[in-house]
């Protein structure tokens, strides 16, 4: 048995170990063969030399991340702990660089974090329309916004248009006070959040005031021709056939489109059919249109989101089998 002591001086213990040692406990669970204890700004670990070497490397990566970006999230820790480090440092650096989409605020590096997100990036470069379909937390919207911001920064487009159907997700916001914009903004908040990460506040304000970036409900797209734009339709599962046809026929010269949706979260009234599945099926073989299917392996939110999606998928499959049973 070998014992090592790792120092994390200069780093807030709460940032590293988490509240009530929550982050440290996650690390320990993923190194079950090691005995480790935290004391102040140090970690003492005991076990097999090879396992200790891997543990030391991952702790150093966490320290490097904090020193570079000033913070360490639970997602960062999970990625570092669960990622296989068998490749050489040069290979890993090249791979990480190739996955970077855009540089955001405060040193934030926005990159494709899963194979399907990377496929989404590559397909968007080759095709003018991309459908990105998958459950919550798979980074569909965030990746799409990052691609749009990159295109704007590189002057490949003149504007970004972000839109969503204003469908209430089981709650009514119509009674809220305020003008139309104030009533609609809650529906569009995820798009604003992504933009806030990637564009400085003063520049984002300028872009929005000068309509370089537009965030609007889908109904506002009717009658327009969208030229030289990067257009994102989010939550497309809440579009009817006619709405999707209307949106797709708005596309003008030198424009790119990403359509995101989650067929398991349709908020349309019972008698209104989602048009997303129809659009994917009838456009599947059209050159210049691509469809990417993301799943729970692409979830980049809290680690429990994967388990939640799996549990609901099992429930859905169980109900489907029951419905198929002969009476």
34 plus 175 within the same structural domain = no
CATH of the domain at 140: 3.40.50.300
CATH number of the domain at 64, please.
3.30.1370.10
Of the candidates 104, 111, 122, 113, the one whose C-alpha atom is nearest the C-alpha of residue 82 is 113
Query: Is residue 167 domain-resident?
Result: yes
Residues 185 and 309 in one domain: yes
Q: In terms of domains, do 41 and 158 share one?
A: no
Co-location of 312 and 176 in the same domain = yes
Helix (H) or strand (E) holding 163: strand 159-164
Positions of the chain with pLDDT under 50: 87-96, 169-173
Task: Please say whether the dihedral angle defined by the alpha carbons of residues 197, 201, 206 and 210, taken in this order, is positive or negative.
Answer: positive
User: Which residue range(s) make up the domain with 178?
Assistant: 112-318
Q: Do the domain assignments include residue 324?
A: no
Grouping H, G, I as helix, E, B as strand and the rest as coil, residue 41 is: coil
19-52: pLDDT as tens digits: 888 888 888 988 889 999 888 788 999 998 888 8
Domain total of the chain: 2
Residue 197 and residue 58 share a domain? no
Residue 220 counted as domain residue: yes
* Rg for the chain, CA atoms, rounded: 23
Q: Other CB atoms closer than 10 Å to residue 40's CB: what's the count? A: 9
DSSP assigned state of 261: E
Strand duo 213-217 + 159-164: pairing: parallel
Same domain (yes/no): 14, 159: no
Q: What is the predicted pLDDT for the residue at 80?
A: 84
| Residue 105 located in a structural domain | no
Question: What is the pLDDT, as a whole number, of residue 179?
Answer: 55
Q: Are residues 82 and 123 in the same domain?
A: no
Specify whether 272 is located in the same domain as 232.
yes
Position 98 in a domain: no
Tens-place pLDDT, residues 69-112 = 667 777 778 888 877 655 444 444 444 455 788 888 877 788 88
């Amino acid at each position: 048995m070998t014992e090592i002591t790792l120092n994390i001086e200069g780093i807030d213990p709460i940032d590293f170990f988490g509240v009530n040692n929550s982050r440290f406990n996650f690390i320990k669970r993923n190194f079950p063969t090691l005995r480790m204890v935290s004391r102040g700004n140090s970690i003492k670990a005991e076990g097999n030399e090879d396992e200790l070497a891997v543990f030391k490397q991952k702790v150093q990566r966490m320290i490097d991340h904090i020193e570079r970006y000033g913070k360490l999230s639970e997602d960062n820790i999970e990625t570092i702990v669960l990622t296989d480090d068998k490749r050489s440092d040069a290979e890993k650096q090249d791979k990480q660089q190739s996955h970077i989409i855009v540089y955001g605020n405060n040193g934030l590096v926005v990159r494709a974090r899963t194979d399907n997100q990377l496929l989404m990036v590559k397909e968007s470069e080759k095709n003018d329309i991309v459908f990105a379909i998958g459950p919550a937390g798979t980074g569909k919207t965030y990746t799409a916004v990052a691609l749009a911001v990159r295109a704007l920064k590189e002057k490949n487009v003149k504007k970004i248009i972000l839109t969503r159907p204003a469908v209430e997700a089981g709650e009514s916001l119509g009674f809220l006070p305020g003008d139309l914009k104030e009533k609609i903004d809650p529906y569009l908040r995820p798009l604003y959040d992504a933009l806030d990460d990637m564009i400085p506040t003063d520049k984002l304000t300028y872009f929005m005031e000068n309509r370089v970036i537009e965030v609007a409900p889908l109904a506002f797209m009717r009658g327009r021709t969208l030229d030289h734009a990067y257009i994102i339709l989010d939550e497309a599962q809440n579009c009817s056939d006619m709405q999707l046809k209307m949106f797709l026929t708005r596309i003008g010269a030198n424009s790119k489109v990403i359509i995101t949706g989650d067929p398991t979260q349709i908020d349309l009234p019972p008698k209104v059919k989602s048009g997303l599945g129809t659009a994917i099926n009838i456009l599947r073989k059209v050159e210049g249109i691509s469809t990417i299917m993301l799943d729970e392996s692409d979830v980049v939110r809290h680690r429990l989101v994967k388990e939640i999606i799996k549990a609901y998928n099992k429930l859905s499959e169980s109900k489907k089998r029951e419905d198929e049973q002969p009476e």
